């Protein structure tokens, strides 16, 4: 083993903590420091905690910064700002704004001669890769993405804003019947309602009108109105005991035709006990790739589409050909 | 659209015919000629058929040669020989000999300044990619590959060599119970017998001893002895009617742990009506990548591990980021 790849984590929420755990599973990497906007004394990492304002002092001690902030406000600012000074990896996941984000990070990274891998994780990330290769192999076909079973943060936030709701969690659940129709090669046209079910676990405030809460949720435009939605009222204790984990996952299918009429189905699926820990593990693998691209003299913003899989593994190209091809 | 990528096919069996069909599904490609060792008059391609001995006359008319010969005897000879004169793509699939094959093709391709993508298809190929990325993301875990339901040519050949057998087809069938244990995150140790079932459809010669045939098949070392094997005797007509297709597929799973004890499962699966047509479609997508690598000045042998997914698609990098990431 040559020297370990030295990682810095920016942001220490669920994702940042997941990255710290993932680094421990990769002997060719080590965590140098965690950077936070909070008081470093409040950061419960095993590594050194440093205020983000001092990040530039670590330019020579860190090979790759993994940016673990949110896509709404943190990354649009931090991404381009840090890309000029460090090699970075992030999981920017606002799909509609990826082109714009790519351009701003790319400009900064090129100016600083750095490599930045943006928008990795599983969607965008592994699911995007699956869509791309499946479409390239089966140009005549349809693509289907099913999400879940898993907690949707956006929908959970939406139900918690409903009057009379004290707490709540929303699960997105793919409908087996629709999945099986796709897997059979039927190539169905599926409505939003046919693909996913939404299931809510609600803790109501004392004396709240449960029927009114249920009605408001089920009729909420964009979030629930187009879906079959199930609303369950439970106690705060039950919510904590049974609905605190962050499972997620999903399935990307492409159903296509080749030759005269041969049905060909490509399926990629994830079943995740912990969404943030899995995303963190993907970020760490792409940090290795970023480091290697940089070592090879590359620069600028990259996405998962630009990076050969061989760079994700600690193994050499010859070893990969021998063991995994 | 710029000028189409001009493809030559070497070898016109099931795979070569599949490549011809796949090229028609890709408007950025065109088939220039089919090269065969047989009399060109006997090659039923819509494109020009040419004897393989004249291939050098097409050096300026062809961008990429797709080699559709077998891995046992054709490719070990043709691969290195043609790699020095053309950009090539092949599906060399003798896993144990890939390192050696890579080296000989690489030497030839570098000498001629050409690009050769070797060992693509689905296994080696897409399954290998799935194993590599899953292992890189979940270093603590186990990998499981299930094949089928599909026709195994090697096992079908083996049963046809049994005395008293006139014709026969063997299906490799993954056992649902084992698959479900892996999908549940149990991380089981699975024996050969627990993973796959082998089902044979046999046409016996008139007067042959069916009990003796069944016994010999079931006890055949390496091929059947370690498996639960089902032997069905059917008529030649039934074999032709119901068992002439070449379905295949399979599933690669990695079941791993992150953090304290979060189970994470990555699954990739194929359900193929036509194994050769699907492999052909993969070859065509990688021919596009070979062309682009060559345009960018790259050279030498490459595997799927070396090639970013973005090169497989006719779409530009910006379009891919906008539409598929």
The 10s digit of each residue's pLDDT in B255-268 is: 999 998 999 999 99
User: How confident is residue A1, by pLDDT bands cut at 50, 70 and 90?
Assistant: low
The residue-averaged pLDDT of A187-199 equals 95
Which of A197-201, A251-255, A289-293, B183-187 is least confident? B183-187
Region B5-124+276-324: CATH code: 3.40.50.720
Percent of all residues in chain B with a pLDDT value above 90, rounded to a whole number: 96
Backbone angles phi, psi at A189, to 5 degrees: -90, 120
Sign of CA dihedral A272, A274, A275, A276: negative
> What integer pLDDT is reported at residue B195 of this predicted model?
96
Of B259, B265, B268, the CB nearest to A277: B259
Place of tokens 């890939």: B98
Domain ranges of chain B: 5-124+276-324, 150-246
Q: Quick one: which of A11, A73, A17, A66 has its CA closest to A36?
A: A11
> Distance, in angstroms, between B224 CA and closest chain A CA?
25
Region A150-246: CATH code: 3.30.360.10
Contact assignment for B137 to A266 by CB distance below 8 Å: no
Strand-strand pairing, B248-258 and B141-147: antiparallel
Asked if the model's pLDDT at residue B43 lies above 60, the reply is yes
Report the C-alpha gap between B239 and B201 in whole angstroms: 7
Report the C-alpha gap between A45 and A41 in whole angstroms: 10
Residue B224 among known ligand-binding residues: no
Cβ contacts (< 8 Å) between A144 and chain B: which residues? none
User: How confident is residue B106, by pLDDT bands cut at 50, 70 and 90?
Assistant: very high
pLDDT tens profile A234-253: 999 999 999 999 999 999 99
> What integer pLDDT is reported at residue B260 of this predicted model?
82
Asked if the model's pLDDT at residue A184 lies above 70, the reply is yes
Displacement of CA A245 from its chain's centroid (Å) = 16
Cβ contacts (< 8 Å) between B273 and chain A: which residues? 185, 262-264
**Which residues, 6 or more positions from B21, have their beta carbon under 8 angstroms from its beta carbon?**
A258, A259, A260, B277, B280
> What integer pLDDT is reported at residue A105 of this predicted model?
98
Asked if the model's pLDDT at residue A215 lies above 90, the reply is yes
Contact assignment for A264 to B280 by CB distance below 8 Å: no
> Distance, in angstroms, between A167 CA and closest chain B CA?
25
Among chain B residues, CA nearest to A129: B309
Q: Which H helix or E strand runs over A197? A: strand A196-204
**Helix and strand element counts for chain A (H, E):** 11, 14
For B105-135, letters b (16+ CB in 10 Å) and e give bbebbbebebbbbbbbbbbbbbbbbbbbbbb
Report the C-alpha gap between A10 and B153 in whole angstroms: 53
pLDDT tens profile B178-235: 999 999 999 999 999 999 999 999 999 999 999 999 999 999 998 999 999 999 999 9
- Its pTM stands at 0.95
Q: Quick one: which of B131, B161, B125, B129 has its CA closest to B144?
A: B131
Report the C-alpha gap between A178 and A190 in whole angstroms: 7
Asked if the model's pLDDT at residue B287 lies above 60, the reply is yes
Of B139, B278, B306, the CB nearest to A258: B278
**Which residues, 6 or more positions from B30, have their beta carbon under 8 angstroms from its beta carbon?**
B4, B5, B6, B7, B23
> What integer pLDDT is reported at residue B100 of this predicted model?
97
């Amino acid at each position: 083993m040559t020297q370990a790849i030295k990682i810095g984590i920016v942001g220490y929420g669920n994702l940042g903590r997941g990255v710290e755990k993932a680094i421990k599973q990769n002997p060719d990497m080590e965590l140098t420091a965690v950077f936070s906007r909070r008081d470093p004394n409040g950061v419960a990492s095993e590594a050194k905690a440093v205020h983000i304002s001092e990040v530039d002092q670590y330019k020579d001690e860190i090979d790759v910064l993994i940016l673990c902030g949110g896509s709404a406000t943190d990354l649009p600012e931090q991404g381009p700002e840090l890309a000029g000074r460090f090699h970075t990896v992030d999981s920017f996941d606002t799909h509609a704004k990826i082109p714009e984000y790519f351009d701003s990070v790319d400009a900064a990274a090129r100016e600083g001669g750095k490599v930045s891998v943006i928008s990795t994780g599983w969607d965008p990330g592994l699911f995007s890769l699956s869509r791309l290769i499946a479409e390239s192999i089966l140009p005549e076909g349809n693509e289907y993405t099913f999400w879940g079973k898993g907690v949707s943060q956006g929908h959970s936030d939406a139900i918690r804003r409903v009057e009379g709701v004290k707490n709540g969690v929303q699960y997105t659940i793919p409908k087996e019947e629709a999945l099986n129709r796709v897997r059979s090669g039927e190539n169905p046209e599926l409505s939003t309602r046919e693909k996913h079910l939404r299931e809510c676990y609600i803790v109501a405030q004392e004396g709240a009108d449960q029927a009114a809460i249920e009605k408001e949720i089920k009729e909420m435009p964009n979030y629930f109105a187009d879906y079959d939605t199930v609303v369950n009222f439970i106690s705060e204790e039950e919510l904590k005991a049974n609905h605190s984990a962050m499972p997620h996952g999903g399935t990307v299918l492409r159903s296509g035709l080749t030759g005269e009429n041969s049905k060909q189905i490509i399926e990629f699926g994830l079943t995740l006990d912990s969404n943030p820990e899995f995303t963190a593990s993907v970020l760490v693998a792409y940090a290795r790739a970023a480091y290697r691209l940089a070592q090879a003299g590359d620069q600028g913003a990259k996405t998962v589409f630009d990076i050969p899989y061989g760079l994700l593994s600690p193994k050499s190209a010859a070893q990969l050909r021998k063991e995994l091809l």
